[in-house]
């Protein structure tokens, strides 16, 4: 008898930002697959076990989880943030598309979660208050030339940009290159928000103009939001500024 597979996201890291629906799914599951640090956020009980793997092993993890569900287990695949945003829901779908027929017959649920850009935006005010997009700066699964074209196109189109996977040891130069491209299109006063571990004890949150944005202010766990030419900053004495994008544009 086949089991089931549920794909969840634990949110940005603050336990209060894990949805009740996700907590219910975690409580009902038997076997958990995910990146080790994400699995570490779970409080598993008797009869629950975990299979941790490296962050670059998404497809292998997806296949293992699907095989376990076919064998009858109640499987939960765990991502951070939202599982459908640069995370495991897409990997599961990719595996199913090229996998055996038995995988297509499984009961599969994807539960929405709070993705990093939403947590960072809420911390800042409302920078995503008008049209926006999300781009991963990782070129592991797409060419860097495509990333550059997309950055320029969306900046010229007036979209606020949320950057995921902005920098790593293997590619320390890409965020600086992204800022260089954006400075060619956007005003140098455009607000740039660096949000790391927002809502957690080790939170780091900075708002600076594009002219001063530097790749050293980010790591792989940082979400970077770059405003559009219309994004505004409201200064507040003794308090963090409010950053927002007006609901109307081009009028």
- Homologous superfamily, domain 4-110: Tetrapyrrole methylase, N-terminal domain (3.40.1010.10)
Look at residues 87, 140, 85, 90 and name the one whose alpha carbon lies nearest to residue 117: 85
- CA-CA distance, 160 to 228, in Å (whole number)? 5
Average pLDDT, the chain: 95
H or E stretch including 27?
helix 20-28
d(CA 4, CA 70) in angstroms, rounded, equals 8
Would you state the pLDDT for residue 234?
97
Average of per-residue pLDDT across 81-104: 97
* Average pLDDT estimate for 44-64: 94
CATH superfamily of 116-244: Tetrapyrrole methylase, C-terminal domain (3.30.950.10)
How many Cα atoms occupy the beta-carbon half-sphere of 79 within 13 Å?
27
The confidence score (pLDDT) of residue 169 equals: 81
List, edge to edge, every strand of the sheet that includes 107-110.
49-53, 31-35, 74-79, 4-9, 107-110
Residue 212 DSSP label: G
Over 90: is that where the pLDDT of 13 sits?
A: no
pLDDT in tens, 108-136: 999 999 999 999 999 999 999 999 999 99
Alpha-carbon torsion 178, 146, 93, 59, what sign?
Answer: negative
1: confidence class by pLDDT, cuts 50, 70, 90: low
Report how far apart, in Å, the C-alpha atoms of 248 and of each of 37, 55, 125, 154, 185 are. Answer: 40, 39, 16, 17, 21
> Mean per-residue pLDDT for 177-204?
95
Query: Left if phi > 0, otherwise alpha if psi is -120 to 50, otherwise beta: which for 155?
Result: alpha
Query: What is the predicted pLDDT for the residue at 249?
Result: 79
Helical packing angle, 144-156 and 174-183, nearest 10°:
30
Domain map (residue ranges) of the chain: 4-110, 116-244
């Amino acid at each position: 008898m086949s089991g089931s597979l549920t794909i969840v996201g634990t949110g940005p890291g603050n336990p209060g930002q894990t949805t009740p629906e996700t907590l219910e799914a975690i409580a009902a599951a038997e076997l958990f697959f995910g990146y080790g640090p994400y699995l570490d956020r779970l409080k598993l009980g008797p009869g629950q076990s975990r299979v941790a793997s490296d962050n670059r092993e998404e497809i292998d993890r997806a296949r293992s989880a699907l095989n376990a569900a076919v064998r009858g287990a109640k499987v939960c695949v765990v991502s951070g943030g939202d599982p459908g945003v640069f995370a495991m829901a897409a990997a599961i779908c990719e595996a199913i598309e090229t996998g055996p027929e038995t995988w297509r017959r499984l009961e599969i649920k994807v539960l929405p979660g709070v993705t990093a850009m939403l947590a960072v935006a809420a911390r800042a005010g409302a920078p995503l208050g008008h049209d926006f997009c999300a781009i991963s700066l990782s070129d592991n699964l797409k060419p860097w030339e495509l990333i550059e074209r997309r950055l320029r196109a969306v900046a010229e189109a007036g979209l606020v940009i949320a950057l995921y996977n902005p920098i790593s040891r293997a590619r320390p130069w890409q965020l600086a290159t992204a800022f260089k491209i954006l400075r060619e299109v956007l005003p140098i006063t455009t607000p740039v928000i660096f949000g790391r571990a927002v809502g957690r004890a080790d939170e780091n949150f900075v708002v600076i103009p594009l002219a001063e944005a530097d790749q050293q202010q980010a790591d792989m766990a940082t979400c970077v939001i770059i405003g559009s030419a219309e994004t505004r900053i409201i200064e507040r004495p003794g308090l963090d500024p409010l950053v927002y994008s007006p609901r109307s544009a081009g009028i």
